């Protein structure tokens, strides 16, 4: 498997196909020999998750269900950022309909990613705050380049990480560590994240990141897929069902919360601070 992959990366045999996507917000490549897919988020400058990007991800994940996808590596085309999290403009003074549609697509995308039967790896090649951290945590394995930031920092912005974001973190680093990190809205350095298990491996650089992602994938492809995915879904089903059974309530929390004047004020101030940087 390793030799085959080396041949492919060196270009001696090209069996990598671009996956026809309706937009260029995600670049998707499938290796036709191994079935491994690389999904690269491509919404410059920071892959903020707006409706359109989430929809492109969701559509790709649905399409992969009908392809011979054996595994997926999620990464980003941005030089510095994996994903800046939810697009703050989707939450700042939206209409109720727009906010509802946006939240529904976030839920759809997360459910697909979290429940994907094939192995999923986040190759975190840059900062990954809030919703970016959620995407990474929804994969099975996380590898990150040094000296970047990751975490659920919502509290620091005057907003609240929804229950399912919190559950994902709890499932990875345990209840006590998650409670502390969520209350404080901690953004961990890559190195700190590796220490507490929020990420599984530190890479030395971007090349090493992709090598390590493929190494993990190779290991997983050696396992019987049905047994593998049954165990995975067994571990994830309570977290998934908690959202699936309360999607409407979760949406109502979101809408009620973001339309509060104080929350809108916090968002406005934060957006201004980001622009001034
Ligand atoms: C009781 C129950 C409650 C239920 C639910 C209630 C509430 C809902 C909460 C929902 C959960 C929210 C999750 C989120 O994900 S919120 C988003 C959090 N994201 C962040 O805090 C990250 C903000 N961005 C940054 O820190 C940095 O941009 C960076 C990612 C570290 C990258 O830095 P750098 O390379 O220096 O880029 P710039 O900062 O210069 O940014 C470039 C341009 O991009 C704009 N930007 C950045 N992030 C966002 C974003 N998240 N949304 C929209 N736009 C963003 C930034 O303003 C710059 O724009 P400009 O070029 O026009 O100036």
> What are the pLDDT digits (tens) for 117-131?
999 999 999 999 999
Distance (Å) of CA 148 to CA 11, 205, 215, 217, 238 = 31, 12, 22, 23, 31
- β-strand pairing of 188-189 with 149-151: antiparallel
| Atom number of ligand 1 nearest to Cα 130 | 15
CB count, 10 Å around CB of 36? Answer: 26
Pocket of ligand 1 (CB under 6 A): 45-46, 48, 80-81, 84-89, 127, 129-131, 153-154, 157, 159-162, 253-254, 257-258, 274-275, 277
Taking the centre of ligand 1 as the mean of its atom positions, its distance from the CA of residue 133, in whole angstroms, is 12
Give backbone dihedrals phi and psi of 198, rounded to 5 degrees, phi first. -65, -35
ipTM at complex level: 0.97
Listed in sequence order, the residues at least 6 apart from 264 whose beta carbon sits closer than 8 Å to its beta carbon are 92, 93, 258
**Ligand 1 atom index nearest CA of 165:** 11
| 80 Cα nearest atom in ligand 1 | 35
Between the CA of 48 and the centroid of ligand 1 the distance, in Å, is 7
Residue 13 pLDDT: 56
Rounded to whole angstroms, the Cα distance separating 266 from 205 reads 35
- The pLDDT assigned to 14 comes to 54
CA dihedral 168, 273, 46, 185 (to 10 degrees): -10
pLDDT in tens, 28-53: 999 999 999 999 999 999 999 999 99
In 3D space, the residue among 84, 134, 152, 129 whose CA is nearest the CA of residue 243 turns out to be 134
């Amino acid at each position: 498997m390793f030799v085959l992959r080396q041949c492919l990366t060196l270009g001696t045999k090209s069996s990598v196909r671009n996956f026809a996507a309706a937009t260029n917000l995600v670049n998707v490549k499938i290796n036709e020999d191994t079935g491994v897919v690389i999904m690269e988020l491509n919404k410059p400058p920071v892959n903020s998750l707006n409706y359109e990007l989430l929809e492109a991800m969701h559509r790709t994940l649905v399409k992969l269900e009908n392809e011979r996808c054996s595994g997926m590596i999620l990464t980003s085309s941005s030089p510095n950022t994996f994903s800046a999290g939810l697009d703050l403009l989707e939450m700042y003074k939206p209409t109720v309909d727009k906010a509802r549609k946006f939240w529904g697509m976030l839920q759809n995308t997360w459910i697909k990613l979290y429940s994907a039967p094939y192995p999923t790896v986040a190759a975190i090649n840059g900062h990954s705050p809030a919703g970016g951290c959620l995407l990474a945590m929804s994969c099975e394995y996380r590898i990150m380049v040094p000296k970047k930031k990751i975490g659920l920092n919502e509290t620091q912005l005057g907003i609240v990480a929804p229950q399912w974001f919190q559950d994902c973190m709890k499932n990875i680093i345990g209840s006590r560590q998650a409670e502390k990190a969520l209350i404080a809205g901690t953004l961990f350095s890559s190195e700190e994240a590796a220490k507490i298990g929020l990420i599984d491996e530190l890479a030395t650089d971007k090349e090493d990141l992709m090598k390590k992602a493929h190494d993990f994938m190779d290991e997983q492809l050696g396992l019987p897929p049905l047994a593998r995915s049954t165990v995975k879904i067994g571990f994830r089903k309570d977290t998934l069902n908690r959202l699936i059974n309360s999607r409407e309530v979760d949406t109502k929390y979101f809408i009620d919360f973001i339309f509060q004047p104080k929350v809108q004020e916090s968002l406005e101030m934060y957006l201004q601070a980001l622009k001034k940087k």
